[in-house]
Amino acid sequence: MRRTPLILVLVLCTLTAPQAHAATTQAFFDLCGNDEEACAKRIDEVRAAFEKTNPKLCSPATMSREGYANEVTYWIGEQQSLDMNQDDAKSITAALKALYTCQPSQGQKP
């Protein structure tokens, strides 16, 4: 008898816990609206996966984690032809590439 309440609590906790990975862009926006830390973490996950097979991205050294997440979500939201049902990683990657592709400094060859 004692197991039933414990199992019920575990099931309820699992169902109500925020999801670390949003499956769609809309779910990503919902996540960001409810949990800034989880939002930034998801962006970091997508960035790490991107940088495994692509050049490193360059974000401003002085930018806060909150500013970073806000800038990425703002860029995504400004896209006119955005499919809110597409995989969130696709939207996040597009934002990261648009915002943080490293530019050669003046005087260097590209």
What is the number of alpha carbons within 13 Å of residue 56 lying toward its C-beta? 3
Residue 1 confidence (pLDDT) above 60? no
Residue 28 confidence (pLDDT) above 60? yes
Q: Give the count of domains, the chain.
A: 1
Q: Does residue 29 belong to any structural domain of this protein?
A: yes
Q: Does residue 80 belong to any structural domain of this protein?
A: yes
- 83's torsion region: left (phi>0), alpha (psi -120 to 50) or beta? beta
DSSP annotation of 64 reads -
**In which domain, by residue range, is 26 found?**
21-100
Q: Does residue 64 belong to any structural domain of this protein?
A: yes
Mean pLDDT of 24-49: 95
User: Is residue 63 classed as helix, strand or coil in its secondary structure?
Assistant: coil
Q: Does residue 47 belong to any structural domain of this protein?
A: yes
We report the CATH number of the domain holding residue 32 as: 1.10.890
Q: Does residue 51 belong to any structural domain of this protein?
A: yes
Can you give the pLDDT at residue 71? 95
